[in-house]
Amino acid sequence: MNPGRPSKVITRHHDGLIHAYVVDPDTFGPLEPAVVFRPRAGDAVEESVVRPDLERVVYTTLNEVVCLTRSGDPVWVSAFAPHSEVRHGHQPGCSLSQDGRTVWVYRPDVMAQRRVADQWVVYDADSGEVLARRELETVGHGGLHHAHPADGSVYLTIGEGQDGAVVVRGVIGADGAPQFVTYPWPDRCLIDLAPGGRQFMTVDHEQGDVAFHDHPSGDVLFTLSVDAFGYDPDDTYVEWSGGYLTPDTAVVTLGGEREDEEEWFRHHLVDVHTGALLGEIDLDVSNPYEGVPLGDGSWLTEGPDGRPVRRSRPTVGSS
């Protein structure tokens, strides 16, 4: 393990509360919440992020993004105008940049019947001031953010249902000017960024292959199709899950359905520099989306009570 790896804060939603967990490099097993935030009365939380110092939470509802202190006092609130009465099919999402200075919010405004274009909005995390706003050529249901670990940029994958997925990257420059790039693929889902940020991993929306890309260009380093893992592409697919187990290895999840219609999945290790297959790994999970690699040889699963559990395999990632 890398003793210098910083702690990471993740959130889970239980009983109307936001539980923040610190994923510390030295802590394994079931995690205990470091702090619990209570949203405002009546707020149904869609997604949430907590600052590294655990003093503030930011969360989205269907019509707002809200920042609260630990005591529940509002720091700032930004409403998505006009108010939408659509209850299903759209999930606004939020993320903090790696340095915690900016909040990135994806607004699926088309599905919300709010606007003719989706939006990606960047807020100052302390004041709630809008620093940048990008209109997107998407009709998304929701989006997944990935904060780059080194250069301050943030990736967003927008899911458009059967129409595919779009990957966008944004960064606020040293001069305060925003820069946005939309990658030229309408059909790839970003799964994870490498721990050092030099590359990232995507899966074909049709689930036929996994690819590894250079950051920030997006150039493909190598692609592995289903048959490269020794499976029949007619009845096996790449799951939209997995990620970087260590800086040198990634977990790729293959799944399918047996003749008796029982579903199955297996996790395979890949050398992210050469594309070599390194065998299988058992993440001790009940479904292909439960295990979340953390990039340091460990991964998160979910305990029976809904709390995250941190696990590792001693022979993997101990460099």
Q: What are phi and psi of 161, to 5 degrees?
A: 65, -135
Which residue type is seen at 40? R
Total-model pTM: 0.94
Which residue type is seen at 308? P
The string of pLDDT tens digits covering residues 137-170 is: 999 999 999 999 999 999 999 999 988 999 999 9
User: Regarding beta strands 154-159 and 165-172, do their DSSP bridges make them parallel or antiparallel, or are they unpaired?
Assistant: antiparallel
User: Distance (Å, rounded) from C-alpha 176 to C-alpha 112?
Assistant: 30
> What is the per-residue pLDDT for 316?
41
Which residue spans of the chain are classified as CATH 2.130.10.10? 38-186
The string of pLDDT tens digits covering residues 65-81 is: 999 999 999 999 999 99
Average pLDDT over all residues of the chain? 93
Average pLDDT over residues 101-110: 97
Handedness of CA 5, 246, 143, 19 (dihedral sign): negative
> What is the per-residue pLDDT for 131?
96
User: Distance (Å, rounded) from C-alpha 21 to C-alpha 281?
Assistant: 25
- 272 vs 319, higher pLDDT: 272
Is there a contact between 204 and 194 (Cβ–Cβ < 8 Å)? no
- 234 vs 259, higher pLDDT: 234
Which residue type is seen at 111? M
The SS3 of residue 156 is strand
pLDDT score of 214 more than 50: yes
CATH class of 38-186: mainly beta
> What is the per-residue pLDDT for 314?
61
Distance from CA of residue 274 to its chain's centroid? 25
237: confidence class by pLDDT, cuts 50, 70, 90: very high
> What is the per-residue pLDDT for 6?
56
Average pLDDT over residues 19-39: 95
Which residues have a Cβ under 8 Å from the Cβ of 314 and sit 6 or more positions away? Answer: none
The SS3 of residue 310 is strand
pLDDT score of 319 more than 70: no
Q: Cα torsion for 144, 91, 79, 190, to the nearest 10°?
A: 10
